[in-house]
Amino acid sequence: MMEVSGRREEGRTYLRRPFYGWIIVGVSFLIGFTESGVFQNILSIFMKPMVDEFGWTRASVTGAIAFGSICGGLLSLIVGPILDRYGPRMVTFWGILVLSLGLGAMTFVTHIWQLYLFFGVGRMIAVGVLSLAVSVSIANWFIRLRGRAMGITKIGDRLGSALLPLMVQFLILALGWRMAWGALGGVVFLMSGIPTLLFLRHRPEDMGLLPDGASPVLDKRGTIAPLDRVDASGDDSDPVWTRAQATRTKAFWMLTFLSSLIPFSQAGINFHIYPFLTDQGFSETTAVLILATVAVSGMAGSATWGILTERFRIQSLLTANVIGNGLIFLSLYWAVQFKFDGALGTGIIFLLAALHGIFHGGRNPMIPFIWANFFGRRSLGSIYGLANPFYFTANAIGPVFAGLCFDLFGSYAFPFYFFIVTFFVSGIITLRMEAPRYPSSGFCQ
């Protein structure tokens, strides 16, 4: 049994402590920030100097993203149940350590297989461990406030996507791409490894708390029940599904397909937007500033759309998001291709980049939010982890698909138009998707 703290005791009233879940949000924010060190836009900045030095093709470099993403998706099948049973603290810490070492080892790369080993394994850890751990942690600590908590957390990877490319580009110009990799590895460990080890916790019930910082219902002895009895009461409104039950629902497979279709397009855009901009005559610095604009505006989008998920039907919001994002990216592509000369043309491109970031950043908290709302927090690691191989395989295919199309046709026209159509199809699927119906009432054994 868990004792209730911060309550009336022997005629005295104690002030309620700030909810520890917001510390979990802070740590998850830092993990997301450093996780962005193996996002597509980071490798895309390193791609040109490495391709120029070693003579590799763009498709072969993007293959490292594909390798890491697919392996990470498979790894999540193992990691998900571990997170549900033992919590995220030590799994996440060791994952951050391996990721940091992999990025540092990129300093010594001379062959393509080393890129796949060092960066690919780091990418595997980021998507198979860190991303899943963040989603599960926030879902465990929040229900009613889950949307805003997820939105604040996802600001971390948007901030990392804004600042880390600027840092990397500066270091490449000043010290070379090898030293830039080493510095990136050090930043990743220092910013997230130690906070994870010190502060990350499994579930609020382990600390005598309830999700959202809610006040528990006391029994006659002044104690509250453990997790299984909390779920069985009416106090925890989250659904309780097992992995086996979830996979027998239509909603699981529709959501899995949707969660694969969207990152297929977004990953392809993320990786190739930088070389596309430089191919169109933008300087490396201007291209990085455009990427930073996307990331910075994504922070506002993440928080805003996260709060909206608490007020509106999630399927309708996600539909508006993906269709709107398709239209905005189409406009951005045209603006870059047929840009006006002078400040007006550049301003339009930066405005569209900001709008693209708001919609892209807003979608980041919505995907794990809908998974948690459909299937609950009790087995979210196992259920969400089961969908991750599909998610990250699609995430891997998108950049490779665009890279192969570029090598074949000499431009990004076909893959970018294909990605835009995929956004529209995703919106139609989302609009028709319904939450699963729980097979029986009460707690699932």
| Sequence-separated (6 or more) residues with CB below 8 Å from residue 52 | none
Distances (CA, A) of 440 to 38, 250, 310: 42, 16, 26
Instruction: Characterize the bridge pairing of strands 223-224 and 2-3.
Output: antiparallel
Q: Which domain holds residue 33?
A: 17-208+224-432
Instruction: Answer yes or no: is 4 within a domain.
Output: no
Phi and psi at 224, nearest 5°, equal -115, 160
pLDDT tens figures, 157-212: 888 877 888 888 888 888 888 999 998 888 889 989 999 999 999 888 888 888 88
Phi and psi at 381, nearest 5°, equal -60, -45
pLDDT at 7 over 60: no
Q: Do residues 395 and 127 lie in contact, with contact meaning Cβ atoms separated by under 8 Å?
A: yes
Mean pLDDT, residues 234-254: 81
Cα Rg, the chain, nearest whole Å: 22
Instruction: Give the least confident one: 94-103, 333-342, 378-387.
Output: 333-342
Sole residue written with tokens 């297989």: 113
Mean pLDDT, residues 410-428: 95
pLDDT at 8 over 70: no
- Which comes out higher in pLDDT, residue 231 or 142? 142
Q: What is the crossing angle of helices 146-175 and 177-188, to 10°?
A: 150
Give pLDDT, residue 198. 92
Q: Do residues 154 and 30 lie in contact, with contact meaning Cβ atoms separated by under 8 Å?
A: no
Instruction: Answer yes or no: is 1 within a domain.
Output: no
Give pLDDT, residue 255. 93
pLDDT tens figures, 388-408: 889 888 888 888 899 889 989
Buried b (16+ CB within 10 A) or exposed e, 166-182: bbbbebbeeeebbebbb
Sole residue written with tokens 């699981």: 252
Which SS3 state, helix, strand or coil, does residue 20 take?
coil
Mean pLDDT, residues 374-378: 87
Q: Which of 46, 27, 39 is nearest to 65 (CA)?
A: 39
| Sequence-separated (6 or more) residues with CB below 8 Å from residue 412 | 272, 276, 279, 402, 405, 406
Give pLDDT, residue 52. 84
pLDDT at 426 over 90: yes
Whole-angstrom distance, CA of residue 125 vs CA of residue 27: 17
Length of the chain: 445
Mean pLDDT of the chain: 84
Q: Does pTM surpass 0.75?
A: yes
pLDDT at 225 over 60: no
Instruction: Answer yes or no: is 318 within a domain.
Output: yes
Q: Do residues 316 and 432 lie in contact, with contact meaning Cβ atoms separated by under 8 Å?
A: no
Whole-angstrom distance, CA of residue 198 vs CA of residue 120: 28
Give pLDDT, residue 441. 43
What is the number of domains present in the chain? 1
Instruction: Answer yes or no: is 299 within a domain.
Output: yes
Q: Which of 192, 154, 221 is nearest to 361 (CA)?
A: 154
Instruction: Answer yes or no: is 361 within a domain.
Output: yes
Which SS3 state, helix, strand or coil, does residue 285 take?
helix
Instruction: Answer yes or no: is 445 within a domain.
Output: no
pLDDT tens figures, 34-86: 887 777 668 878 888 888 888 888 778 878 878 888 898 899 999 988 998 88
**Tokens found for residue 157:** 């990877």
Instruction: Answer yes or no: is 217 within a domain.
Output: no
Whole-angstrom distance, CA of residue 123 vs CA of residue 103: 10
If pLDDT is split at 50, 70 and 90, which confidence band does 445 have? very low
DSSP 74-121: HHHHHHHHHHHHH-SHHHHHHHHHHHHHHHHHGGG--SHHHHHHHHHH
Whole-angstrom distance, CA of residue 193 vs CA of residue 182: 16
Whole-angstrom distance, CA of residue 47 vs CA of residue 62: 9
Give pLDDT, residue 222. 54
Give pLDDT, residue 223. 54
- Which comes out higher in pLDDT, residue 6 or 299? 299
DSSP 199-232: H--S-GGGGT--GGGPPPPP-TTSEE--HHHHHH
Give pLDDT, residue 333. 94
Q: Do residues 89 and 140 lie in contact, with contact meaning Cβ atoms separated by under 8 Å?
A: no
Give the CA angle between residues 27, 32, 38 to the nearest 5°: 140
Whole-angstrom distance, CA of residue 41 vs CA of residue 297: 16
pLDDT at 12 over 60: no
If pLDDT is split at 50, 70 and 90, which confidence band does 346 have? confident
If pLDDT is split at 50, 70 and 90, which confidence band does 4 have? very low
Which SS3 state, helix, strand or coil, does residue 280 take?
coil
Share of the chain above pLDDT 70, in %: 89
Give pLDDT, residue 357. 93
| Sequence-separated (6 or more) residues with CB below 8 Å from residue 282 | 290
Instruction: Answer yes or no: is 117 within a domain.
Output: yes
Give pLDDT, residue 358. 94
Whole-angstrom distance, CA of residue 410 vs CA of residue 407: 6
Q: Supply the CATH number for residue 362's domain.
A: 1.20.1250.20
Instruction: Give the least confident one: 213-217, 281-285, 435-439.
Output: 213-217
